[in-house]
Amino acid sequence: MKVTADRDRCIGAGMCALTAPAVFDQDQDEAVVVLLDETPPDDARVLVEQAVDRCPSGAIHVR
Ligand code: SF4
């Protein structure tokens, strides 16, 4: 699994960090997404896919 996060698209809604906190965080200043793990283990896939679905800006992707 490979995760990407586009910080230019992110609007700081925080759904990713709430949904999959082992993979996503937000920076302290602008609340923009911080990708903690580009290649999370396969057992994280369900949460990562939920985070992708919940992101209102389409900033995160998984393949
Ligand atoms: S859910 Fe989307 S818009 Fe919100 S912080 Fe995460 S990447 Fe940014």
Average pLDDT over residues 3-11: 98
33 lines ligand 1 (CB under 6 A): yes
Q: What angle do CA 61, 31, 41 make, to 5 degrees?
A: 40
For atom 4 of ligand 1, which residue has the closest CA? 13
Residue 32 pLDDT = 98
15 lines ligand 1 (CB under 6 A): yes
User: How many whole angstroms from its chain centre is CA 62?
Assistant: 9
Which strand (E) or helix (H) includes residue 4? Answer: strand 3-5
- Which amino acid is located at 4 in the chain? T
Residue 23 pLDDT = 98
Distance CA 13, CA 44 (A): 21
Distance CA 40, CA 56 (A): 22
35 lines ligand 1 (CB under 6 A): no
Residue 53 pLDDT = 98
Residue of 6, 30, 52, 57 to test ligand 1 pocket, by largest number of atoms within 8 Å of CB: 57
Average pLDDT over residues 12-20: 97
Residue 59 pLDDT = 98
